[in-house]
Amino acid sequence: MADQQVDARGLNCPMPIVKTAQAVKALTSGQTLEILATDPGSVKDFAAWSKSTGNELVEQTVDGGVYRFVMRKK
Amino acid sequence: MTVAEAPVLAPEAAVMPAPVEEPEAKPRDILIICYSGELEKTWATMILATTGAAMGAKVRVFLTFWGLQTFVKDGRRITGENIMQKMMSAMQRPGISHRKLSKMNFLGMGPWMMRKLAKQYNVSSPQELLAIAQEMGVEFMPCQMTMDMFGLKREDMIDGLGEPVGAATVIGLLQGGDAPLFI
């Protein structure tokens, strides 16, 4: 279970990433964040965000148009 | 929403393998030269500035020529000290809420439709993105020369802008390795 959650469903670029960055700030190293998004662009965007920030993308699923990402803060 | 309320994913939900990538060194600083004042370009500036900050980069935005007009307070109708400066602001209303489209403006019909579509598709407005950018530490640097030329004073500008600077500051940042974006 993730320590925090961001519900970015319905939001368009760049808000899923922006909200995630804001939420990650409040976490301590090693804590996890679950993000729900409906923006199909977020799949590539979260991979890029993870690569740039070093926060690990530990899980990624899609179900019925809802993308779910779990990030672990570096 | 708490984790407990999260929709439960069906067991057959497709699982995509998470890419294994080595985190890179600290990302390059980004310098956006905000030169244009049209609605769509203002939008692009705000989207890229907030995303840059979200990705851990230091983002600076240099506000010059028409781009600086966007950062005049919305309520300022006429700006400037002499008649020509006042006429310029009268011909093109400053402020982020009064941006026009470069194409299909049709006396404001285009921007109105664009804002309507943005709302429908949950795209944050330039105003919302500007507030987020400032909250995330994006630095906005007004161009001193443009302020002088248009007769703009600090009190004409929105709150939270940095000190006015010149072209040498911009070039210095570029020489220092900032990733440039000219919008």
Nearest by CB to B54, from A14, A63, A68: name it. A14
Domain that holds residue B108: 28-182
Q: What is the pLDDT of residue B26?
A: 75
Q: What is the pLDDT of residue B7?
A: 56
Q: What is the pLDDT of residue A73?
A: 97
Report whether pLDDT(B74) > 70: yes
Average model confidence (pLDDT) for chain B? 90
Q: Which helix (H) or strand (E) holds B127?
A: helix B126-135
- List the domain boundaries for chain A: 4-72
Flag whether B78 is in a domain: yes
Residues of A in contact with B55 (CB under 8 A): 17, 21, 48-49, 52-53
Those residues of chain A whose CB sits closer than 8 Å to some CB in chain B are: 1-2, 5, 7, 10-15, 17-18, 20-22, 34, 36, 43, 47-54, 57-64, 66, 68, 74
Q: What is the pLDDT of residue B4?
A: 53
CA B32 and chain centroid, separation:
9
Q: What is the pLDDT of residue B64?
A: 97
> How many domains is chain B partitioned into structurally?
1
Judge residue B24's burial from the number of C-beta atoms within 10 Å of its C-beta, 0-12 exposed, 13-18 middle, 19 or more buried: exposed
The larger pLDDT score, comparing residue B10 to residue B86, is at B86
Pick the CATH number of A4-72 from 3.30.110.40, 3.30.70.3270, 3.40.50.150, 3.40.50.1950: 3.30.110.40
Q: How far apart are CA B6 and CA B2, in angstroms?
A: 7
CATH code at position B106? 3.40.1260.10
Between CA A63 and CA A66, with CA A64 as vertex, the angle to 5 degrees is: 65
Residues B86-108 have a mean pLDDT of 92
pLDDT interval class at B13 (50, 70, 90) = low
Structural tokens at position B123: 């795209």
In single-letter form, the type of residue at position A10 comes to: G
Flag whether B61 is in a domain: yes
Report whether pLDDT(B5) > 70: no
What's the pLDDT tens digit per position in B155-173?
999 999 999 999 999 999 9
**ipTM rounded to 2 decimals:** 0.88
Q: How far apart are CA A50 and CA A53, in angstroms?
A: 5
pLDDT interval class at B9 (50, 70, 90) = low
A49 is catalytic: no
Percent of chain A with pLDDT over 90: 97
Residue with tokens 């469903």: A9
What's the pLDDT tens digit per position in B55-65?
999 999 999 99
Task: Name the nearest CA neighbour of A57 among B52, B55, B19.
Answer: B19
- Dihedral of CA atoms B132, B137, B143, B148 in degrees, nearest 10, equals 70
Structural tokens at position B87: 């006429």
With H, G, I as helix, E, B as strand and everything else as coil, classify residue A53: helix
